[in-house]
Each structure stands twice: as C-alpha cells, then as structure tokens.
Chain A
Amino acid sequence: MNTQMIISVMSSDRPGIVADVSGAIFALGGDIADLNQSVLRGYLTMILMVNFDRPITPKTIIETIAAVQSSTTLDVMAREISKQPDIEDISLPAKTYIMTARGRNRKGLVHGVSAFCRRHDINILDLATTMADDRYTMVLQLDLSRVSSIVQVREQLMTLREETGLTIMLQHHDLFKVTNEIPF
C-alpha cells in the first residue's frame, strides 16, 4: 500500500540541510515527488511531498529526520495525505492576478491586504514581502476565480489604499508573463 506524506522542515540555514533530509527519506525508502525550499533572513524552510511504497507513520518520519546528526535543530512536521493530487490541475487558474503593495512599514500591513483578499474570496497562491529602508513591499499572486466583478474589487482597492496608505496595483498575471518571458 502506498503512503503519501507531506513533510515540512525548518532550520537555521547551513550547507547540507537538503542532503541530510533527503538522505533520511531515502533511507526510509521514500521517493520525493515535489520539493520547495526557501531561505528568509538566514532561516530555511522546506516543504516536500514524498511517496512511500509501504505503510509508514508521520511519527517515524519525524523521528528519523530529527535523529540526523546536525549542527542546527531541524523542526519537522509530517502529515499523511489521503487524496491523490490532481496532476492535470497544476497550471495556474485563468484569473491569476498579481497584486503589488508598497509603502512605509508599519504593523498590520500583511493582515490588511490578506484580510481584503479573504473578504473577496481571493486565494493567495504565492506571497513574497521585503523590507528595505523602512519601505515595505508585498508581491502577491492571487486567484480571482471566485470573484465575479473585477471592477468592484478595483473600487474596493481604492478604499484599502486609503486605509493602509499603501500604493497597491492589481494586474493580470499574463501581463507579467509577456513582459518578462519569451514564449517557447
């Protein structure tokens, strides 16, 4: 019986974390299907989807990875997923938009923007923020599939701009694809 696990690992960044984690998974007989890792201000976080061709518990995985000889602490979580991922459905939805929000940093900006998305049933597919010289920049990839009126969202954005003092722009993802990618 196959088991599919979603595993997340967090640690102070250093060379060799991916090698250590993938080594432990290999030792358990796991096959890494998807992996995504990111480093933010010296901290690494990694999310993996792993297939095992035998029954295995999250506890075994966590203990095996945690037992790896490491100069940093590896915080591990694992969870079994029951539903097979729909491989056909990995492309971006047709109503994928990019929102950029920039302004002076203060508390609650991410919450203000993300709460706006929630109110309008907009799913955040990807989000990256940076701060430089007290200027805060958010770039969000959004799925507006459940939004019926883009005009209304744009109107509401005006209010959000006033409330947060952020400069907010919303454009279709296609625009960024065509200006930055060469089709092949």
Chain B
Amino acid sequence: MLRSDQILATVEMIQKEHLDVRTVTMGINLLDCRGDTPTKTGALIMERIADRAGKFVTTCDFVSRKLGVPVVNKRIAITPISFVAGGYSPAEFVILAKALDEAAKAVGVDILGGFSAQVEKGMTDTDQAFLQSLPEALAVTERVCASINIGSSQKGINMDALAMVGHIVKDIAYESRTQNGFGAAKFVVFCNQPGDNPFMAGAIHGVEEAETVLNVGVSGPGVIARALERLIAARQSEGAPLSLDEIAEEIKQTTFRVTRCGELVGRQVSEMLGVSFGAVDLSLAPTPKVGDSVGEILHILGVDAIGAPGSTAIIALLNDAVKKGGIFAAKTVGGLSGAFIPVMEDAVLAEAVGKDELSLEKLEAMTSVCSVGLDMVAIPGSVDGDTIGAIIADEMAVGLINHKTTAVRIIPVPGMEAGDYVDFGGLFGASPVMAVRNVGKSSRFVKWGGRLPAPIHSFKN
C-alpha cells in the first residue's frame, strides 16, 4: 500500500487546494458536413455532434465519480467553421452559429469552440464573410466561442485582417452591449493558434487532427500556491534558507502530480468513448474562486504588487517549471501549456488592476514569457478600433518573434471607463476596467495593411 502521508497529500490537493481536471474537450471533424443549403449544413453539423458527443458528458461525469476527481468543464471544439462554410454569406454563417449553439445545448456542453478562421497569410471571401458575421453570431448565441488566427511565425501577421479585427471586436462588444459587451469575451485573436488546445474560448479542432480526439486541460494554481506556502513555512520554522531553484523544483513536482491526474482521467474517458486521446495541455488556468489564482503565486514568490518589477521574471520561472514538471508526467503534451494570466478570471490580477498596480504594458511584458496573452482584459468602451487593432498587433508580434502562441481577448465595455467595474459572472469573472494609454495614436500604423513579415529563423538574440 502507498504510504499514508502520500495518500493524505493527494486527498488534501483535491479537497482543499482545488485540484481538478479543468477541462476535457472533444475535438470533432466537420469537414464533410456540407449540405445543399446552409440550413442543411447546420442540420448535418448537429447530427455529427450528437453522434460523436452524445455520451460525452455522462462519460466524463462517470469517470469523475469513479476516480473521485472533479472534471470541471466538458467542452467541444470543431473544425474551424470557415473551412466548412466556403462561399457562405455573413447571414449564412449566423445560421451555422445557431446550429452549433443548439448542438452544444443538446449534448449538455456549456461552451463550444471553433467558430473560427485561419487567415495568417491572406483572407478569402469566405473569411471576410466570417469576420462580418461575428457581431451578430456571438450576440444571438450563448455557447459558441469564436477565434481567428491572424499570424504565425512562418507567415507573418496579416495586417489587413488585423485592421478589420480591431473594429470587429468593438462591433461584437456593441452588439452585446446589454451584457456589458460580453460577446467580446467569446472571441480570441491568435498568433500561432494550436489545433489541439482544449481551453476556451480559443479551442479548435485543427485540420491536422483525426476524426475525433480528446484533449485534456489540467490546472491547479491553488495546488501550487499551497505547496509553495508549505515549503516556505517549513524552511522558516527550521530557520533554513530557501532558494529559487528549490522553489522551481517544488513547482515541477507539484505539476507532475496535477498532470498525472489529467492524463488518467483523459485516457479513461477516451477509452470508454472509443475516441483517440490527443494531448494534455499543461496549463495553470486560474478561476475567479479565492485560492485558485496565478496572481497569488506571484505574491507568494515575493512581489507585493502584481506588475511590480520582478513580476515578469517570476512568471517566466513559473511557466518553465510547469512545463518541465508536466512533460514528464504525460505521454503527449500539446495545446498552450503554460501559465495563464486572464485578468478577469483571476481575482488577484483583477484586484491589482483596481489598485492601479497592473498596467496593460506590464501585462503585455508578462505575456511574452508565458501563455497565452492579453486575456480577459476589460478596457473602456470608448477606445477606438484602430487602437484595439494596434494592441492586438503588439501582442501578435510577441508571439511571432518568440515562436509561441499569443492571443488577445479584450473587451471594450460599452459605456464604461477606466476604473468602472464589470462582472460577467461564473468562470468569466469580474474586474475593474483597465486604462489604455495613448488612445488614438496608432491609426497610421494600423492602416498600412499588407503583411508584417515572418521573422528570420536564425541569429536568435
């Protein structure tokens, strides 16, 4: 039998430290779901999702109960919709969005991702129609999440698409103005978007993937925070020194355990459903719950304000240690795999915005050493589309040059200004609106269009 202290440590992680499997996401291929009319295509999509995911939620719940580990979210990712809807108009894209919403509801899934397009080099007419459909599609649906990949380290950044996207983000927020622009919380702009990311809102079932694949997202900032507190307290009571490399080691070992749980759950669910197991995404994804925060780890590791000098270095250490601990624990690793700093979804980060400790610029610096990017950032509704486009361009450039995924999920909250408080509830969280400096001063840059060239792949200094 395992030692009692090992058993009790694992139980403690589940009971008190929010150890859970954050998401099990089923990726479903829709490439062959094409009917004579958009309505028929929608019906075929609904049929496909019902067929593949009919038992998905009950199976996840069964495995969760059997093992005694919570599986928080069950989600679906689909083939980027623009590949399925070639030639459709914006109104016809909205028909598909509604069908996807219905399909997700029918199988009991709260969020479905993949209302997406990939335009990193150029946009087809279909891609343009897709973009134009987004404000309405996200306002009339509840469960559908959208994304777009507008840059890659191989192709550069599509600045024509970027210029459009800045304004589309504003339009999406405006269309959902009665919900404080919530629609924009369901839309992510990517550079180097992975095709096997299980986390929303940016999950897609990449065209490189098999028919049906299960990806798992693990989490556990709370588990790591408590492990670090214990380590620090133990050393203090012994009067013994503690150094950063030992802290990194503790994070690695804790991540190992967390990841192994995700791997176990994912493999059992995929085996029961007869679906191939894709990858474990080794991410530290916070939730608005107290004690489940990445920001809290920064406090524990020595900065008294999130965004104070040292914050970027701590995030770098954390992100790297999470990968090192997780990679050994899982047979296949994919998705985003790193620490997330989604402002509204992390109570401590949100608080730092309210105290004026964390600025957009520092947040951007922190995203250069972790996944995923400027995530769940509420900004004043008055910020213009070109400025939003330029904020996105900066974040895309970070991903482009560093050969990593970066993303922007920014919400220009209609009618709100910096310091006002916006609350979307549930997992989407709440925070004060973050100030944007130098508004309206990037239009000349955004209007160039064309492509921001891909970086050279040598001389990496």
The docked-state distance in angstroms from the alpha carbon of A180 to that of B10 is 8
Q: Is the CB of B260 within 8 A of A178?
A: yes
Q: Which residues in A have their C-beta under 8 angstroms from that of B257?
A: 179-180
Q: Which residues in A have their C-beta under 8 angstroms from that of B1?
A: 125-126, 128, 141
Q: Which residues in A have their C-beta under 8 angstroms from that of B8?
A: 100, 137, 139
Contact with B along A150-184 (1 / 0, CB 8 A): 11001000000000000101111011111111000
CB distance from B295 to the nearest CB of A (A): 26
CB distance from B325 to the nearest CB of A (A): 12
Q: Which residues in A have their C-beta under 8 angstroms from that of B7?
A: 98, 100, 139, 176, 180
Q: Which residue of A lies closest to B13 (CB)?
A: A179
Q: Which residues in B have their C-beta under 8 angstroms from that of A141?
A: 1
The docked-state distance in angstroms from the alpha carbon of A151 to that of B7 is 22
The docked-state distance in angstroms from the alpha carbon of A175 to that of B69 is 8
> Is A130 interfacial (CB 8 A cutoff)?
yes
Q: Which residue of B lies closest to A180 (CB)?
A: B6
Q: Is the CB of B264 within 8 A of A174?
A: yes
> Is B123 interfacial (CB 8 A cutoff)?
no
Q: Is the CB of B4 within 8 A of A130?
A: yes
- Candidate in A151, A169, A176, A179 with the most chain B CB atoms within 10 angstroms: A179
Q: Is the CB of B261 within 8 A of A178?
A: yes
Task: Return the contact of B4 from the options A97, A137, A154, A167 (Cβ within 8 A).
Answer: A137
* Count of residues in B whose CB is under 8 Å from the partner chain: 21
Q: Is the CB of B2 within 8 A of A175?
A: no
Do A172 and B10 form a contact, CB below 8 Å, given A130-B4, A178-B263?
Answer: no
Q: Which residue of A lies closest to B68 (CB)?
A: A171
Q: Which residues in B have their C-beta under 8 angstroms from that of A139?
A: 4, 7-8
> Is B14 interfacial (CB 8 A cutoff)?
yes
Q: Is the CB of B2 within 8 A of A180?
A: yes
CB distance from A110 to the nearest CB of B (A): 15
> Is B15 interfacial (CB 8 A cutoff)?
yes
> Is B40 interfacial (CB 8 A cutoff)?
no
* Count of residues in A whose CB is under 8 Å from the partner chain: 26
Q: Which residues in A have their C-beta under 8 angstroms from that of B65?
A: 150-151, 154
- Candidate in A126, A139, A175 with the most chain B CB atoms within 10 angstroms: A175
The docked-state distance in angstroms from the alpha carbon of A139 to that of B68 is 15
The docked-state distance in angstroms from the alpha carbon of A177 to that of B329 is 12
Q: Which residues in B have their C-beta under 8 angstroms from that of A128?
A: 1, 4
> Is B11 interfacial (CB 8 A cutoff)?
yes
* CB under 8 Å from chain B, chain A span 2-35: none
Do A170 and B68 form a contact, CB below 8 Å, given A100-B7, A139-B8?
Answer: yes
* CB under 8 Å from chain A, chain B span 1-54: 1-2, 4, 6-8, 10-11, 13-15
Q: Which residue of B lies closest to A179 (CB)?
A: B257
> Is B210 interfacial (CB 8 A cutoff)?
no
The docked-state distance in angstroms from the alpha carbon of A163 to that of B209 is 51
Contact with B along A133-144 (1 / 0, CB 8 A): 000010101000
Q: Is the CB of B14 within 8 A of A171?
A: yes
CB distance from A94 to the nearest CB of B (A): 11
The docked-state distance in angstroms from the alpha carbon of A16 to that of B65 is 47
Q: Is the CB of B4 within 8 A of A175?
A: no
The docked-state distance in angstroms from the alpha carbon of A19 to that of B264 is 43
- Candidate in B7, B69, B261, B263 with the most chain A CB atoms within 10 angstroms: B7
> Is B67 interfacial (CB 8 A cutoff)?
yes
Q: Which residues in A have their C-beta under 8 angstroms from that of B6?
A: 176, 179-180
> Is B66 interfacial (CB 8 A cutoff)?
yes
CB distance from A129 to the nearest CB of B (A): 9
Contact with A along B374-406 (1 / 0, CB 8 A): 000000000000000000000000000000000
The docked-state distance in angstroms from the alpha carbon of A176 to that of B3 is 10
Q: Is the CB of A169 within 8 A of B260?
A: no
The docked-state distance in angstroms from the alpha carbon of A171 to that of B19 is 13
CB distance from B171 to the nearest CB of A (A): 47
Q: Is the CB of A175 within 8 A of B15?
A: no
The docked-state distance in angstroms from the alpha carbon of A178 to that of B263 is 9
* CB under 8 Å from chain B, chain A span 90-110: 97-98, 100
Q: Which residue of B lies closest to A98 (CB)?
A: B7
CB distance from A5 to the nearest CB of B (A): 25
The docked-state distance in angstroms from the alpha carbon of A104 to that of B15 is 18
Q: Is the CB of B4 within 8 A of A172?
A: no
Q: Is the CB of A172 within 8 A of B67?
A: yes
The docked-state distance in angstroms from the alpha carbon of A57 to that of B261 is 51
CB distance from A56 to the nearest CB of B (A): 32
Q: Which residues in A have their C-beta under 8 angstroms from that of B68?
A: 97, 169-172, 175
The docked-state distance in angstroms from the alpha carbon of A157 to that of B172 is 48
Do A179 and B261 form a contact, CB below 8 Å, given A151-B65, A169-B68?
Answer: yes
The docked-state distance in angstroms from the alpha carbon of A141 to that of B1 is 8
Q: Which of A's residues lie within 8 Å of B, judged by CB?
A: 97-98, 100, 125-126, 128, 130, 137, 139, 141, 150-151, 154, 167, 169-172, 174-181
Q: Which of B's residues lie within 8 Å of A, judged by CB?
A: 1-2, 4, 6-8, 10-11, 13-15, 65-69, 257, 260-261, 263-264
Further pairs besides A128-B4, A137-B8, A176-B10: 12, Cβ < 8 Å: A98-B2, A100-B8, A125-B1, A126-B1, A139-B4, A172-B68, A174-B264, A175-B10, A176-B6, A177-B2, A178-B263, A178-B264
Q: List 10 A-B contacts (CB under 8 A).
A: A137-B4, A167-B15, A170-B68, A171-B69, A175-B67, A175-B68, A176-B2, A178-B261, A179-B10, A180-B6
* A-B CB proximity, top 5 nearest: A171-B68, A178-B260, A179-B257, A180-B6, A172-B67
